[in-house]
Amino acid sequence: MTDHKQMIKNILEQSEKPPLCFLHSFGCQQNVSDGEKILGLLCEMGYGVTNDITAADLIIYNTCAVREGAELKVYSLVGNLKNLKKKNPGLIIGVCGCMAQQEKTVEKLKKSYPYVDIIFGTFALGELPRLLYKALTEKETAVDITEYNTDFPEDIRPVRSSSFSASVPIMYGCNNFCSYCIVPYVRGRERSRPPEAIINEVKELVSSGCKEIMLLGQNVNSYGKTLDEPISFSELLRRINDIDGDFRVRFMSSHPKDATKELIDTIVGCEKICKHLHLPLQSGSDRILEAMNRHYTAEKYLETVRYARSLIPDLSFSTDIIVGFPNEIAEDFEATLDVVRKVRYDNIFSFIYSKRTGTKAAVMEDVTPEEEKKERIQKLLEVQREISSEGFRRFIGRTLTVLFDSADDEGYCSGKSNEFIIVKAKADASVIGSFRKVKITKAFNWALEGDII
Candidate ranges 24-32, 41-49, 50-58, 281-289; the one touching ligand F3S (CB under 6 A): 24-32
CB of 222 to ligand SF4, least distance (A): 9
Pick from ligand SF4, ligand SAH, ligand F3S, none: which does 417 bind, CB < 5 to 8 A by kind? none
Contact 121, 103 (CB under 8 A): no
* 66 touching ligand F3S, by CB under 6 A: yes
Task: Report the site for ligand F3S in 182-221 (rule: CB under 6 A).
Answer: 182-183, 186-187
- Residues 69-108, one symbol each (x = binds ligand F3S by CB under 6 A, - = not), give -----------------------------x----------
Binding residues for ligand SF4, rule CB under 6 A, total 10
Max Cα separation, the chain?
66
CB of 301 to ligand SAH, least distance (A): 13
> What is the amino acid identity at position 398?
R
How many C-beta neighbours within 10 Å does residue 309 have?
Answer: 15
DSSP H or E segment with residue 373: helix 370-392
Which of 211, 255 has the CB closer to ligand SAH?
Answer: 255
Give Cβ neighbours of residue 225 (< 8 Å, ≥ 6 apart): 190, 192
How many C-beta neighbours within 10 Å does residue 361 have?
Answer: 21
* 320 touching ligand SAH, by CB under 6 A: yes
Determine which residue in the list 122, 218, 221, 384 makes contact with ligand SAH, applying CB under 6 A. 218
Q: DSSP class of residue 224?
A: T
What is the three-class DSSP state of 324? Answer: coil
Which of 33, 218 has the CB closer to ligand SAH?
Answer: 218
Pick from ligand SF4, ligand F3S, ligand SAH, none: which does 184 bind, CB < 5 to 8 A by kind? ligand SF4
Torsion sign, CA atoms 228, 229, 230, 232: negative
Q: What is the dihedral of CA 195, 197, 202, 203, to 10 degrees?
A: 110
Which of 26, 47 has the CB closer to ligand SAH?
Answer: 26
Which of 176, 418 has the CB closer to ligand SF4?
Answer: 176
What backbone phi and psi angles, to 5 degrees, belong to 172?
Answer: -125, 155
Task: Report the site for ligand SF4 in 417-436 (rule: CB under 6 A).
Answer: none
Determine which residue in the list 219, 222, 368, 417 makes contact with ligand SF4, applying CB under 6 A. 219
Determine which residue in the list 255, 276, 373, 436 makes contact with ligand SF4, applying CB under 6 A. 255
* 183 touching ligand SF4, by CB under 6 A: yes
Of 222, 295, 215, residue with least CA distance to 263: 222
- Residues 101-140, one symbol each (x = binds ligand SF4 by CB under 6 A, - = not), give ----------------------------------------
- Residues 53-72, one symbol each (x = binds ligand SAH by CB under 6 A, - = not), give -------------xx-----
* 184 touching ligand SF4, by CB under 6 A: yes
CB of 328 to ligand SAH, least distance (A): 12
Contact 184, 177 (CB under 8 A): yes
Torsion sign, CA atoms 407, 411, 416, 421: negative
Of 108, 147, 105, 176, residue with least CA distance to 360: 176
Candidate ranges 27-35, 136-144, 162-170, 414-422; the one touching ligand F3S (CB under 6 A): 27-35
What is the three-class DSSP state of 258? Answer: helix
How many C-beta neighbours within 10 Å does residue 93 have?
Answer: 23
How many C-beta neighbours within 10 Å does residue 58 have?
Answer: 23
What is the three-class DSSP state of 109? Answer: helix
In Å, how far are 44, 106, 173 from 185, measured between CA atoms?
Answer: 31, 15, 9
What backbone phi and psi angles, to 5 degrees, belong to 25?
Answer: -105, 135
> Residue of minimal CB distance from ligand F3S?
27
What backbone phi and psi angles, to 5 degrees, belong to 370?
Answer: -55, -40
Which of 100, 281 has the CB closer to ligand SF4?
Answer: 281
Contact 444, 427 (CB under 8 A): no
Distance CA 153, CA 284 (A): 40
* 176 touching ligand SF4, by CB under 6 A: yes
Distance CA 50, CA 42 (A): 12
* 187 touching ligand SAH, by CB under 6 A: no
Pick from ligand SAH, ligand SF4, ligand F3S, none: which does 65 bind, CB < 5 to 8 A by kind? ligand F3S
* 130 touching ligand SAH, by CB under 6 A: no
* 27 touching ligand F3S, by CB under 6 A: yes
Contact set with ligand F3S (CB under 6 A):
27-28, 30-31, 64-66, 98, 182-183, 186-187
Contact set with ligand SAH (CB under 6 A):
28, 66-67, 180-181, 183, 218-219, 253, 255, 280, 282, 320, 322, 351, 353-354, 356
